[in-house]
Amino acid sequence: MNKKKCVRQLQLDLEAQTTELSQLKTKIKQRSYKLSKDTLQELYYQESCLKDQLTETKSQLAEAEDGKDPVGPTKDLQVNIVMLTGILVAIGLQLLLWLC
């Protein structure tokens, strides 16, 4: 994904997560006196998870806007290592079959 599309997608994700968090906070405020303790705890847990997602999306967006790849070079390196390992295994098996 190119940089502009990545930044735009992260911005959209951030907006959606912010809206969802606002709606959840409103729901908690409006109904907190009607809800059971377990339900309130679940809603607070959801709020915490949404805040974590929001923080992660903000950091990814900042990295993408700075020109860094949010996926990162580590993932590319891992894919290359897996591909190289697969090729070496195929060559090794071919040599074993040829020798037998």
* Cβ neighbour number for residue 60 with a 10 Å cutoff: 19
Residue 34 predicted with pLDDT over 80:
no
pLDDT at residue 15, as a whole number: 85
Q: If you average pLDDT over residues 11-17, what whole number do you get? A: 84
Q: Could you state, in order of their start, the residue ranges of all structural domains in the chain?
A: 1-69, 71-100
Q: What is the DSSP string of 5-61?
A: HHHHHHHHHHHHHHHHHHHHHHHHHHHTTTS-HHHHHHHHHHHHHHHHHHHHHHHHH
Q: Which pLDDT tens digit goes with each residue over 51-90?
A: 888 888 888 888 877 765 545 556 677 777 888 888 888 8
